[in-house]
With several copies, the nearest count.
Chain A
Amino acid sequence: MMLMTEERILPDELSRELRDPAAGAYASFEGWIRNHNDGMSVVRLEYEAYAPLCRSEGERILEEARSRWKILHAHCVHRSGSLEIGDCAVWVGVSSAHRDEAFHACRYIIDQVKQRLPIWKKEHYANGDSGWVNCERCASHGPHYDHAQGLPPPDAKAGTPLHKRRTAD
């Protein structure tokens, strides 16, 4: 089950849906909003998502995980809207008979979710600036791999980094 929500994510309630008498292992991941990124002090994040495709692509990712590893249940919930430091932006939970499968599937799901779901985040910094966060895959190509090179900053003040290398993982 892939869900998009503007409400607070409640991992404890969500994990209950993965319970199964045949489950011996439960691995989960939560992405929390960090107070820093790339040397900048972050005060708030805004998530923009295109929910219909997030859901269908998310379901596809969960199905891939189920076909690759012998797991019992796998769910993912992603938030959109405005989030504060410490808030949970994404939750992934996987239950299985044995732990190896739960760990691998959980990691696969969060990695794919971050690369494939149409979600974008804009960081708001302590100094009043803001900037869209660059994607993980591009970040891994190093600082010169900049998607939006030459693109005039639409709402940024002078000196604002338009794309940040990475944010909350």
Chain B
Amino acid sequence: MKKQVTVRYFALFREHAGISGETLESDADSAAALFAQLKHRHGSTEPASHCKVAINDQLVDWDAPVRDGDVVLFFPPVAGG
């Protein structure tokens, strides 16, 4: 089923996408599926497990469901400090 989601890209992903976010329609059931569908945007060829995902400002597992109206944040590997 198609749902509308807002996606945000960070750092490397943002630079590759050329945009910091977009709202789109997707039938992806999970965060992982959505990440795979948007590979052309964020540009990462590596497994999602190396990156992180948050839905509605909560860090979630990659198998977390994506629901209509969700805001999904894709984080490349972090490097703080």
* A interface residue numbers (CB < 8 A to B): 31, 47-50, 52-53, 56-57, 78, 89-90, 110, 113-122, 132-138, 146-152, 154-155, 167-169
Contact = CB atoms under 8 A, between A and B. Distances in A.
Contact of A57 (B11, B50, B59): B59
Q: Which 5 residue pairs spanning A and B have beta carbons closest together?
A: A119-B80, A120-B11, A135-B77, A154-B15, A114-B81
A147 B54 CA distance: 19
A53 B53 CA distance: 11
B: contact size bracket: 20 to 34
Contacts, number: 100
A120 B44 contact: no
Interface of B: 10-12, 14-16, 18, 43-46, 50-52, 54, 57, 59, 73, 75-81
B59 A53 contact: yes
B10 A134 contact: no
Contacts of A150: 45
